Amino acid sequence: MCGIVGLFLKDPKLQPQLGAMLTDMLITMTDRGPDSAGIAIYSQGKIGHGKLTVQSATPEVDFKNLDADLGAALGQPVLMLVKSSHAVLEVPAGQLDAARSALAKIRPGMKIMSSGEGIEIYKEVGLPKDVAARFEVAKMHGTHGIGHTRMATESAVTTMGAHPFSTGPDQCLVHNGSLSNHNGVRRELKRLGMTFETENDTEVGAAFVSHKLQQGETLGQALEATLTDLDGFFTFVVGTKDGFGVVRDPIACKPAVMAETDQYVAFGSEYRALVNLPGIESARVWEPEPATVYFWER
């Protein structure tokens, strides 16, 4: 049992409140997942720049002079914002892959949480309220975001086992459920060139969607493919640079509810995650249908 939340803003006036709204939604789902929590925030970013969010178990060591060291490796200036065990590194957009390679050499113990133009991912072990406070998520602005509270059932409670999982540029996925064929799918995706950091079945779901997108499929097509190629019980919420999507397996035994107004589209594992959103009393509220893809993009 885990908790999922998502919020896609249609009204730009709400963008300064995105982090605060997602934080409230996430904390409400605490009893569905007290082991760890994570959140992905998307913003418009700076033209010509990209971001890598990195995590370290020893930030006082790994983050010391990290911007200077990475800048020297790239031959380009790097900006760094440290938030507890995570740091956001801003580099020229064309240098994201080079930055990943350089980080593996100059800070081999660090983990990359996300990479892209607009995405930042923060996740750690602990209660949702503590994780959100640790990274000051409530102060963050953005266009859309997704979050997850985890109750571990199949793998260890670790930072890397927390959701969201990001396996492609500006892409991430959160999951409630269990995939029964993830080992076979992982082997096939590895053969096709995908890499994995964990044994978590959710990372397989994320990599499956990323691979489909890399092959030129739309988000809708990629989510449709999960219904035929992935076995098990699942509710996926996927974030991309331009929006987010939702899909439930054909049986749909995992709870889910959505709400839409002129200002936003929201997702929660339970309705109580949505009750404090503005205008929720007049929103169109519904349960996503089984084996049906929903997505919103700019």
CA 269, 117, 171, 57 torsion-angle sign: negative
Is position 172 annotated as part of the catalytic site?
no
Residue 51 makes CB contacts below 8 A (sequence gap 6+) with 45, 88, 89, 90, 91, 114, 115, 116, 117, 118, 119, 120
Q: Write down the catalytic residue from 1, 2, 133, 142.
A: 2
What is the rounded distance in angstroms from the CA atom of residue 194 to the CA atom of residue 204? 10
Q: How far, in Å, are 85, 103, 169, 239 from residue 186 at the CA level? A: 29, 25, 19, 21
CA 261, 264, 269, 273 torsion-angle sign: negative
Q: Give which of 279, 272, 212 is closest to 10, Cα–Cα.
A: 279
287 DSSP assignment: P
Q: Report H helices in 135-200.
A: 182-191
What is the rounded distance in angstroms from the CA atom of residue 23 to the CA atom of residue 59? 24
What is the rounded distance in angstroms from the CA atom of residue 10 to the CA atom of residue 277? 14
Residue 132 makes CB contacts below 8 A (sequence gap 6+) with 23, 26, 27, 37, 39, 138
Contact indicator for 96, 103 with CB cutoff of 8 Å: no
Catalytically annotated residues: 2
